[in-house]
Amino acid sequence: MPVIAIIGAQWGDEGKGKVIDQLAEKAKVVVRFSGGDNAGHTVINPQGKFALHLIPSGIFYPETTCIIGNGVAINPAALIDEIDQIIRRGVDTSRLLISDRAHLIMPYHLLLDGMEEEARGGQAIGTTRKGIGPAFADKAARLGIRAGDLLDKKAFLDRLRSVLGYKNAILTKLYGASPLSLDEVYHQYCQYGERLAPYIKDTTLVAEEALARKELVLLEGAQGSLLDPDFGTYPYATSSSPLAGGACLGSGISPTKINAILGIFKAYCTRVGAGPMPTELKDKTGDLIRERAGEYGTTTGRARRCGWFDAVAARFSTRINGFTGMAITRLDILDSFPSLKICTGYKLDGETINYFPQSIAALDRCKPVYEELPGWQVSTTHIRRFEDLPPQARQYISRLTELTSCPAKLVCVGPEREQTIEVSPIL
């Protein structure tokens, strides 16, 4: 039965892809449950270095079925491109499945994402412009088109005709843009449908069968908890839930079936796009972290904003997800710092607080209260056992687990599959 949800605990890019690639060795099913190709999950393993956007990071194991769940918004062109790219590199995609309930990103979603961002001017969210917000808005507005719709061309045409009429009115009347051609969109998406048809099915049955056989199922998160539309730094957020709760909704697996919820934390913080980030370092230290770590987005190539570990935000994300353990990635990036800071509280309008405020205006005014710990100043990249880490590194990890009240399960000391220290069992 075991189900492990793997959840981004900060603002995304915590190293979910790496951890899933490692854990998937024992999994029979990996279900990606939210987001779309806004995600970029880097996997480095004996088959090479891969940047996955929609395909679950378990795809490298011949025994593992990889499901793109109902909670994902799929750009079919991007998915076909990704499938073709990894096939060319010798990866077998015959065990890939797409939920027939997953919504599709349509050409108007891509256009509207860009136009809405332009219209926001100085308040732009800094989206990935992959059409994510408009696609999930249509899902909620009951205007979405789903993967399963591509399997019935007649019904698809009727549905597209009514939705496109409405979307073209917005494109032309609100934005002064050209309308999209029904014929072109229809034929293009019929072609995508023909190509993807072998993968599309009711994937909840596949997951259920694996659970009945008591096989390990992983739920693969995208983005990070602080980008959640309910609990993140709204409106500087994404549009589907990266949380453990979202894992159930986006996969069709019941909350009662989840045995472990692993929060993936970087040993420091990063964020890409606009919105509050209390521990952001707009100085040489921030630049140093970015350069040492190569903190540039996997999807858009944008420089990631870097800062010290924020234990206030980490406590919040641990609480709303109910993490049963944490994986701390990129510890090695901190190897050469003489001392390290951890944010243990915020100063807000003269008062010290230890909660993560709802309001972005308040978060923008929050000044981090830091605790300073000694660095270890030796390389950790070759270490594979917790007890072999330098005492200062162990102290740093212990402090993170203490401040979040969440036990450490894994510590990563490099991007490669084997650069992982198992601290305690996940299950």
Q: Write out the catalytic residue numbers.
A: 13, 41
Q: Which of 75, 99, 233, 238 touches ligand IMO (CB under 6 A)?
A: 238
Kindly write out the interface string for residues 70-109 of this chain, putting x where it contacts ligand IMO by CB under 6 A and - elsewhere: ----------------------------------------
How many residues are recorded in the chain? Answer: 427
Positions in the binding site for ligand GDP (CB under 6 A): 8, 12-18, 39-42, 44, 298, 329-330, 332-333, 412-415
Name residue, tokens 């001017």. Answer: 121
Q: CA 16, CA 362: separation in Å to the nearest integer?
A: 29
Looking at the Cβ atoms of 116 and 371, the one nearer to ligand IMO is: 116
Looking at the Cβ atoms of 300 and 392, the one nearer to ligand IMO is: 300
Looking at the Cβ atoms of 98 and 237, the one nearer to ligand IMO is: 237
Q: Which amino acid would we find at residue 5?
A: A
- Would you tell me how many other CB atoms lie within 10 Å of the CB of residue 31? 33
Q: Which of 69, 107, 252, 273 touches ligand IMO (CB under 6 A)?
A: 273
126 counts as binding ligand IMO under rule CB under 6 A: yes
Q: Which amino acid would we find at residue 63?
A: E
Pairing of strands 200-201, 96-99: parallel
Name residue, tokens 């993170």. Answer: 400
- Would you tell me how many other CB atoms lie within 10 Å of the CB of residue 198? 11
- Would you tell me how many other CB atoms lie within 10 Å of the CB of residue 339? 10
Q: CA 105, CA 317: separation in Å to the nearest integer?
A: 29
Q: Which of 132, 150, 206, 267 touches ligand IMO (CB under 6 A)?
A: 132
Q: How many residues bind Mg ion (CB under 5 A)?
A: 3
40 counts as binding Mg ion under rule CB under 5 A: yes
Residue 290 phi/psi, 5° resolution? Answer: -60, -45
262 counts as binding ligand IMO under rule CB under 6 A: no
Contact region for ligand IMO (CB under 6 A) — 64-72, 127-135, 342-350, 375-383? 127-135
Looking at the Cβ atoms of 13 and 215, the one nearer to Mg ion is: 13
The closest of 68, 407, 63 to 260, measured between CA atoms, is 407
125 counts as binding ligand IMO under rule CB under 6 A: yes
Q: Which of 5, 10, 13, 279 touches ligand IMO (CB under 6 A)?
A: 13
Q: Which of 5, 9, 10, 13 touches Mg ion (CB under 5 A)?
A: 13
For residue 59, give the 3-state DSSP assignment: coil
Q: Which of 298, 300, 392, 395 touches Mg ion (CB under 5 A)?
A: 298
Evaluate whether 423 touches 326 at the Cβ level (below 8 Å).
no
Beta bridge partners of 96: 66
Sign of the Cα torsion 357, 361, 364, 367 reads negative
Q: Which residues bind Mg ion (CB under 5 A)?
A: 13, 40, 298
Q: Which residues bind ligand IMO (CB under 6 A)?
A: 8, 12-13, 35, 38-41, 125-128, 130, 132-133, 222-224, 227, 238-239, 272-273, 298
